[in-house]
């Protein structure tokens, strides 16, 4: 019996191994064989001309399981599976009027980036709708949507190519005058003029090493050249020296002017001047209004402000409005 038993257990163990392998394979194929996440309508609608409004109408959203898999190593899948397709946004509604700057604030993991990512339709909502000038983003053609919505993040992607090519990537038809205008408004013209090859200087890993602030300004110049009507900006606090910080700030002011903007705000100056602040917590908008109103209300925003920004405020010049308060 012992002689029989050993090979039998070996066989049983082998079967377990095969089963495990099969499960892993299935998961690998789930990852590789993903259906396209975003489906374009065969007869898309056009975005009306002119400034654009951005509207979230009772948006509910959970990240698709496949995306969680691609983010994590396969060993982590079981853990993520246990979490299930947890809902991240629980009925978010707001409206940014054409030309308004809406600042999203709130604790880490609240859902700010998720809200921002639904505008260029990186994901589709589970229920509710995201509309640009009244048109559901799911009904827009992808080229139309891409041209309408520009995204600036702290580490915007730069290609290992010349500065000019990096800029023209967003606007292939731009002429030299337009290119220099974008560089000037992004506070980069002096730097580019000082480089031996000017705009033909290769940037990136093996090329000219741009500082963090210069990289950011180059991505802003790209946005200025592309002229999207809606800007999604992730201000994530960069550790820039104060001169760089001022240049980036000036470039961003240019980028937001006359555009509808959704800003994941970390700078007090942005929040103070925003037309509307949305306080996001646990996937919900828990407060909304302007800086002064929300401070006076003494709710979550006031609390956030006092813990995160009050020290920064003290370093500022006295502000008559704040003094009245
Ligand atoms: P932060 O200020 O730290 O960037 P946030 O407010 O932007 O946070 P989100 O990044 O939108 O928050 O995250 C909201 C929730 O969604 C978090 O629980 C986060 O773990 C989860 N999440 C974010 N991105 C993904 C993703 N690609 N796949 C799965 N879950 C995600």
> What local confidence, expressed as pLDDT, does residue 176 receive?
94
33-37, 99-103, 220-224 — most confident range: 99-103
Full-model pTM: 0.79
Centroid of ligand 1 to alpha carbon of 296 (angstroms): 30
Binned at pLDDT 50, 70 and 90, residue 313 comes out as low
Tens of pLDDT, residue by residue over 250-261, are 888 888 999 999
> What local confidence, expressed as pLDDT, does residue 1 receive?
53
Would the ipTM clear 0.90, i.e. be above it? yes
> What local confidence, expressed as pLDDT, does residue 26 receive?
44
Which of 116-130, 155-169, 276-290 is the least confident region? 155-169
Question: Tokens standing for 136?
Answer: 């559901």
Binding site membership of 68 for ligand 1 (Cβ less than 6 Å): yes
Centroid of ligand 1 to alpha carbon of 111 (angstroms): 6
Please say whether the beta carbons of 266 and 304 come within 8 A.
no
> What local confidence, expressed as pLDDT, does residue 29 receive?
41
Tally of helices (H runs) and strands (E runs) in the chain: 15, 10
- Mutation probe of ligand 1 site: the residue of 31, 37, 76, 88 with most atoms within 8 A of C-beta: 88
Q: What are the helix (H) ranges across 195-319?
A: 212-226, 242-256, 268-273, 291-297, 300-304, 310-314
Binding site membership of 110 for ligand 1 (Cβ less than 6 Å): yes
> What local confidence, expressed as pLDDT, does residue 6 receive?
54
What value does the CA radius of gyration of the chain take, rounded to a whole number of Å? 24
Centroid of ligand 1 to alpha carbon of 63 (angstroms): 9
Please say whether the beta carbons of 98 and 51 come within 8 A.
yes
More confident residue, 316 or 115: 115
Q: Is the pLDDT of residue 299 over 60?
A: yes
> What local confidence, expressed as pLDDT, does residue 191 receive?
94
Q: What is the DSSP letter of 229?
A: S
Give rounded-to-5 percent helix, strand, coil for the chain: 45, 20, 35
Centroid of ligand 1 to alpha carbon of 39 (angstroms): 23
Binding site membership of 109 for ligand 1 (Cβ less than 6 Å): yes
Binding site membership of 63 for ligand 1 (Cβ less than 6 Å): yes
Binding site membership of 108 for ligand 1 (Cβ less than 6 Å): yes
Mean of all residue pLDDT scores within the chain: 82
* Rounded CA separation 252/233 (Å): 9
SS3 300: helix
Q: Is the pLDDT of residue 324 over 80?
A: no
> What local confidence, expressed as pLDDT, does residue 281 receive?
97
Binding site membership of 104 for ligand 1 (Cβ less than 6 Å): no
Tens of pLDDT, residue by residue over 41-59, are 889 999 999 999 999 999 9
- Residue among 149, 139, 126, 125 at smallest CA distance from 54: 149
Tens of pLDDT, residue by residue over 90-129, are 999 999 999 999 999 999 999 999 999 999 999 999 999 9
Concatenated DSSP letters of 238-267:
----HHHHHHHHHHHHHHHTTSEEEEE---
Binding site membership of 232 for ligand 1 (Cβ less than 6 Å): no
């Amino acid at each position: 019996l012992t002689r029989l038993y050993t090979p039998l257990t070996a066989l049983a163990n082998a079967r377990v191994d095969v089963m495990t392998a099969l499960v892993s394979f299935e998961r690998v194929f789930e990852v590789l064989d993903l259906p396209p996440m975003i489906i374009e309508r065969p007869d898309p609608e056009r975005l009306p001309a002119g400034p654009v409004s951005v509207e979230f109408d009772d948006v509910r959203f959970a990240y698709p399981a496949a995306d969680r898999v691609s983010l994590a190593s396969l060993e982590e899948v079981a853990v993520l599976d246990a979490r299930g397709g947890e809902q991240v946004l629980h009925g978010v509604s707001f409206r940014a009027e054409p030309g308004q700057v809406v600042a999203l604030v709130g604790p880490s993991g609240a859902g700010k980036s998720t809200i921002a990512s639904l505008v260029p339709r990186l994901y589709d909502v589970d229920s509710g709708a995201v509309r640009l000038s009244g048109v559901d983003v799911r009904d827009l053609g992808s080229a139309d949507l891409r041209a309408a919505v520009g995204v600036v993040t702290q580490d915007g992607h730069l290609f290992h190519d010349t500065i000019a090519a990096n800029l023209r990537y967003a606007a292939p038809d731009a002429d030299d005058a337009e290119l220099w205008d974008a560089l000037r408004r992004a506070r980069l013209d002096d730097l580019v003029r000082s480089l031996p090859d000017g705009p033909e200087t290769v940037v990136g890993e093996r090329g000219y090493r741009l500082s963090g602030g210069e990289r950011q300004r180059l991505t802003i110049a790209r946005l200025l050249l592309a002229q999207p009507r809606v800007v999604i900006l992730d201000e994530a606090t960069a550790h820039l020296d104060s001169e760089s910080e001022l240049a980036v700030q000036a470039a961003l002011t240019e980028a937001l002017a006359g555009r509808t903007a959704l800003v994941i705000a970390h700078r007090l100056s942005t929040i103070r001047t925003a037309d509307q602040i949305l306080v996001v917590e646990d996937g919900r908008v828990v407060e909304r209004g302007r800086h002064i109103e929300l401070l006076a209300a003494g709710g979550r925003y006031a609390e956030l402000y006092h813990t995160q920004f009050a020290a920064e405020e003290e370093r500022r010049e006295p502000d008559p409005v704040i003094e009245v308060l």
